[in-house]
Amino acid sequence: MVYPGAVHSRFEHSLGVYWLAGDAVQKLHFFQGSELGIDHFDMQTVKLAGLLHDIGHGPFSHLFEREFLPRVHNGAKWSHEEMSVKMIDYIVDEHNIEIDPSGLKRVKEMILASSETKLSNSTREKRFLYDIVANGRNGIDVDKFDYIIRDSRACGLGCNFDFHRLMEMMRVMDGEICYRSKDYLTIHKLFATRADLFRTVYTHAKIKAIELMVVDALVSANGDLNISSYINDPAEYWKLDDTILKTIETAPDQEEELKKSRELIRRIRRRDLYRFCNEYAVPKDKLEHFKNVTPADIICSQKASGVDLKEEEVAVSNVKIDLTRGMNNPLQSIKFFKDYDSEEKISISDEQVSHLLPGCCQDMIVRVYSKKPELVEAVSEAFENFQLKTYGIKTQVHETPEKKKRRR
């Protein structure tokens, strides 16, 4: 809706990860197959994990998982990785697919490798295979390779990160995929490119405004359509996709419960979005103990100005952008080797890397929106008051333009 060229699907991404996963394990087999014992079973399971790793995503992917479900399930945790595992079992049973149970178990464990789910002891054998699709150890995986290149191209951003170099130079040492020490800048560029995508695309101010409206529309419609219940039954869950907005739009007019949701979707179609008021970056020394800002925080900071703001008229987006390891340098989680004759894996300390690399690895940006155009000025002032009260300074770079304040 903001980048019209970015119309590729989750299916295309899954095919890309399937291909890259197979390519990665093939390269390891070519260079180290005899010592690693990589066989056809390994290649098949890694490729299947790549193909099916995202099959549990709901409508609008991460928005459904991180924004919608916590609102309707009182913050209860749910992950698309665990849903992917349930969907795989359902597909195999529903379509009577003949597949080796041990292979299916490994595929599901590979999908869960980057989640908080604890892996079984069986994963200790050929542990490196579990880092190819979804790498919970250091964040370097073919899933990122595909979506970074694909999204950069689709959004016309360009991309100077070369994942082929990493795939050619990687080696398994002591059960872990390691990289040449001289390639640490290439690895850092992977994480930096991902962070750029989050800043310019995934958390673009207009995109977040639309996401906030979509979430409000889904939450409002949940009572009537019972959308959240679909996650309890894979036989129903597969029917749930982005067309849920069209379902809401085309519902009979007598469905009064859906009236608010329909109006929000119509506003998106007409580009009558929640109005972005302003943003600020949380100071470095406040990042560690930062708590998400809420509409209530903004409302409590308003001054007596003749406008009495309500929580439901304000939207807040707390945007965290990091290099996959929060405030930590991702290079600290990665093992390297000096050259191909080396038999020892090493770590690279902060003192050994280029001084041009950033010293801070995380940004936290707080954005505030007014749901009504006539309230932009009042919300902006309350937001500034909140910053002064919290930090003693207005940390935003620009003030809200006067013309935006006056717009109706």
Q: In this predicted model, what pLDDT tens digit does every residue of 53-65 receive, in sequence order?
A: 999 999 999 999 9
For residues 182 and 165, what is the distance between their CA atoms, to the nearest angstrom?
12
- Please name which of 49, 66, 45, 44 lies closest in space to residue 57, comparing C-alpha atoms: 66
Distances (CA, A) of 37 to 29, 40, 57, 141, 151: 8, 10, 33, 21, 35
**In this structure, what token pair is assigned to residue 177?**
């995929």
| Integer Cα distance of 300 and 394 in angstroms | 17
What pTM was computed for the model? 0.92
pLDDT digits (tens, 9 = 90+) for 194-253: 999 999 999 999 999 999 999 999 999 999 999 999 999 999 999 999 999 999 999 886
Q: Which residue out of 53, 80, 204, 289 is catalytically annotated?
A: 80
**CA pair distance 229, 249, nearest whole angstrom:** 20
> Would you state the structure tokens that stand for residue 273, as one six-digit string?
């979005």
- Of 250, 228, 279, 233, nearest to 397 by C-alpha is 279
Whether 95 sits among the annotated catalytic residues: the reply is no
CA dist., res. 346 & res. 11, Å (int) = 38
Neighbours of 367 (CB within 10 A): 21
Q: pLDDT 10s per residue in the chain (408 long)?
A: 999 989 888 999 999 999 999 999 999 999 998 899 999 999 999 999 999 999 999 999 999 999 999 999 987 889 999 999 999 999 999 999 999 999 999 999 999 987 655 556 555 689 999 999 999 899 999 999 999 999 999 999 888 888 999 999 999 999 999 999 999 999 999 999 999 999 999 999 999 999 999 999 999 999 999 999 999 999 999 999 999 999 999 988 666 779 999 999 999 999 999 999 999 999 888 898 999 999 999 999 998 767 899 999 999 999 999 988 888 888 999 999 998 888 899 998 877 888 778 778 899 999 999 999 999 999 999 999 999 998 888 777 777 777 777 665
142-154 vs 184-197: helix crossing angle, rounded to 10: 50
Alpha-carbon 201 to chain mean position = 12
Angle at 252 between CA 251 and CA 258, to 5 degrees: 60
Q: What is the full DSSP assignment across 274-337? A: PEEEEEEEPPGGGSTT-----HHHHHTT---SS----GGGEEEEEEEEESSSTTS-GGGG--EE
Handedness of CA 20, 26, 29, 31 (dihedral sign): negative
**Nearest Cα residue to 124 out of 170, 177, 173, 175:** 175
